[in-house]
Amino acid sequence: MKKILLGLLALTMSATMFAEDKFGIGAGMGLSDSMYKGAEDKAYPMPLLDINYGDFYVKGVTVGYEFYNNDAFAASLFLDPLAGFAVDAEDLKSGYNNIDDRKFQAMFGLRLDADTGFYGVRTGLTAQVGEHGGEGKLSAFKAYKVDEKLTIVPSVHVKGYSGDFTDYYFGVSKEEARRNSKINDSYKADTAYSIGLNITADYRLTDNVALMAFLGVEKFSSEISDSPIVEDGVLYLVGVGAKYYF
């Protein structure tokens, strides 16, 4: 659910990061496959919050404080309470479903957003850390205004994951390997990365009502895809939503 929610908010983040006193509430529905062995694709209802008030903002479930902002650059601190790749062991197929549950983690981070001055391309850089390691993300995106109502934003990003982060979510301990008939040995996941491509669309029905759609794909490096509890190293995301702006 978290990955879809972030995707649906990608357009909102890029379009309103520099806005002030802006309030939006809405709901969405997302669908994602799972990286874990045997875990089924799931659809999730999602609340969509888009709040900017002075130096504070809420985007989805992420809460932030913007401590610097000019016409081309913004910097903020944020708290992401649902980071990571959570899964319940019982969702995996037989022979893999006696692992320990992987839980979401709260992560505290720094976000930098900048206008490159190159054909309207913007960049974003985030770094965050939590109990089970850290991750960083470098992204680039551009908003194309098709007409007065429709805006399309393609984006590309690269993420890096610390060894502690990947080992918590994708590593397998000796005890877990012993408990599962289809896992032959323990696996220690090392520092890893992923590359993602996304496209989002925003259609303004009125000045106050917007419809959103999101499509994305993310490919993970072998440190993650080679894990015995991972089905493959590609994650597909799709979602739709609607939001009302005050």
CATH assignment of the domain containing 182? 2.40.160.40
Q: How far is CA 43 from CA 1, 28, 59, 240, in A?
A: 8, 10, 20, 11
Q: How far is CA 186 from CA 83, 174, 232, in A?
A: 25, 5, 18
- pLDDT per residue over 174-223, tens digit each? 999 999 999 999 999 999 999 999 999 989 999 889 898 989 999 999 99
Q: How far is CA 244 from CA 48, 169, 208, 211, in A?
A: 10, 36, 5, 9
Q: Kindly give the pairing relationship between strand 42-53 and strand 22-32.
A: antiparallel
Cβ contacts of 67 within 8 Å, gap of 6 or more: 55, 75, 76, 77
134: Cα within 13 Å, side-chain hemisphere: 9
Cβ–Cβ under 8 Å, residues 153 and 131: no
Phi, psi of 65 (to 5 degrees): -130, 120
Burial of 76 (0-12, 13-18, 19+ CB in 10 A): buried
**What is the rounded distance in angstroms from the CA atom of residue 121 to the CA atom of residue 138?**
13
Count of domains in the chain? 1
* DSSP state, residue 21: S
| Residue type for position 243 | K
**What is the rounded distance in angstroms from the CA atom of residue 236 to the CA atom of residue 51?**
28
In total, the chain counts a number of residues equal to: 246
- pLDDT per residue over 131-187, tens digit each? 999 999 999 999 999 999 999 999 999 999 999 999 999 999 999 999 999 999 999
Full domain range(s) for residue 140: 2-245
- pLDDT per residue over 107-132, tens digit each? 999 999 999 989 889 999 999 999 99
